[in-house]
């Protein structure tokens, strides 16, 4: 019995500390325009990409949403134009939501047209978006340290004092938020639990790989695998090469991570192993 328990303990220990790696599959041409966020669209078989195409905080009307094939070929750089500095993207049914500085821009993907602008009062730098299973939208504001909620067209402040709030991810009744190097979880009662900390303070994109395990990107150019016990593994670090890794997308079925390189104007795809 003791021998069996020891084997089980060793297996669990090894599993908990299993190392992951990334294998690069492709990168797009550098024809995108300061791509900030990537959203994998399984039904359509392509990626949505937000192009800032200008200063990240400028209301200049130069921003757009592009489409990239899963083979790395750019389908259309400016699929929908007329945005300002779009960043995070979220999809619910046929509506694509884009965080666009002080408002959320809503795009009907069947018409390739903007159908609504939802202003967020007091917003300064809306950054990431997530949509839960019921269509409730959550959007972070990095400059005001808030996460806002949009439900049935009504905007409210959901969380406050979220330092440098950026990446957001809704899973069930929980909302995960990246706050200046840490990953926290807000439950249905808004109780905050810190799951991991000590990452580069430019934490940007978050995707769940499996229950309690995440991929976290940092804008400065580092991507982590965050394990259930809060420990972190660096998957890659391109800070010395000055290659950014902004708001990532993820194909959960095939375990492929899509990384927007921001000023390098391309998307890189990696196989997670």
Q: Given this model, what pLDDT does residue 3 score?
A: 53
The number of distinct structural domains making up the chain is: 1
Q: Given this model, what pLDDT does residue 18 score?
A: 75
In this prediction, residue 132 has a pLDDT band, given cuts at 50, 70 and 90, of: very high
Q: Summarize the confidence of residues 106-129 as an average pLDDT.
A: 98
The answer to whether position 122 is within a domain reads yes
pLDDT score of 113 more than 70 = yes
The answer to whether position 152 is within a domain reads yes
pLDDT score of 7 more than 80 = no
Environment class of 210 (CB within 10 Å of its CB; exposed 0-12, middle 13-18, buried 19+): exposed
The answer to whether position 9 is within a domain reads no
The CATH number of the domain where 209 resides is what? 2.120.10.30
The answer to whether position 60 is within a domain reads yes
The answer to whether position 8 is within a domain reads no
Residue 160 CB coordination number (10 Å): 11
Q: Model confidence over 26-62: pLDDT tens digits?
A: 999 999 999 999 999 999 999 999 999 999 999 999 9
The answer to whether position 3 is within a domain reads no
Mean pLDDT, the chain, integer: 94
Q: Given this model, what pLDDT does residue 4 score?
A: 53
Q: Given this model, what pLDDT does residue 17 score?
A: 60
Domain that includes residue 69, residue range: 21-272
């Amino acid at each position: 019995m003791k021998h069996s328990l020891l084997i089980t303990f060793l297996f669990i220990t090894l599993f908990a500390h299993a190392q992951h790696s990334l294998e690069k599959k492709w990168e797009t041409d550098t024809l995108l325009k300061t791509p900030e966020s990537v959203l994998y669209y399984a039904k359509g078989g392509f990626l949505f990409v937000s192009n800032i195409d200008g200063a990240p905080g400028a209301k200049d009307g130069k921003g757009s949403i592009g489409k990239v094939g899963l083979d790395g070929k750019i389908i259309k750089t400016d699929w929908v134009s007329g945005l300002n500095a779009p960043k995070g993207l979220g999809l619910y049914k046929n509506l694509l939501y884009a965080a666009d500085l002080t408002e959320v821009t809503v795009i009907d993907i069947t018409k390739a047209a903007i159908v609504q602008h939802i202003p967020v009062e007091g917003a300064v730098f809306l950054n990431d978006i997530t949509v839960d299973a019921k269509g409730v939208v959550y959007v972070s504001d990095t400059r005001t340290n808030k996460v806002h909620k949009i439900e049935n067209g009504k905007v409210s402040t959901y969380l406050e004092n979220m330092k440098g709030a950026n990446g957001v991810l809704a899973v069930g009744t929980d909302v995960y938020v990246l706050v200046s190097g840490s990953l926290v979880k807000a439950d249905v009662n808004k109780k905050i639990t810190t799951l991991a900390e000590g990452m580069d303070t430019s934490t940007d994109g978050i995707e769940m790989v499996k229950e309690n395990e995440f991929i976290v990107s940092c804008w400065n150019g580092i991507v982590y695998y965050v394990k259930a016990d809060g420990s972190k593994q660096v998957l890659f670090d391109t800070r010395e090469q000055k290659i950014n890794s902004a708001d990532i997308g993820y194909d959960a079925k095939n375990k492929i991570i899509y990384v927007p390189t921001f000023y390098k104007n391309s998307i890189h795809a990696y196989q997670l192993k």
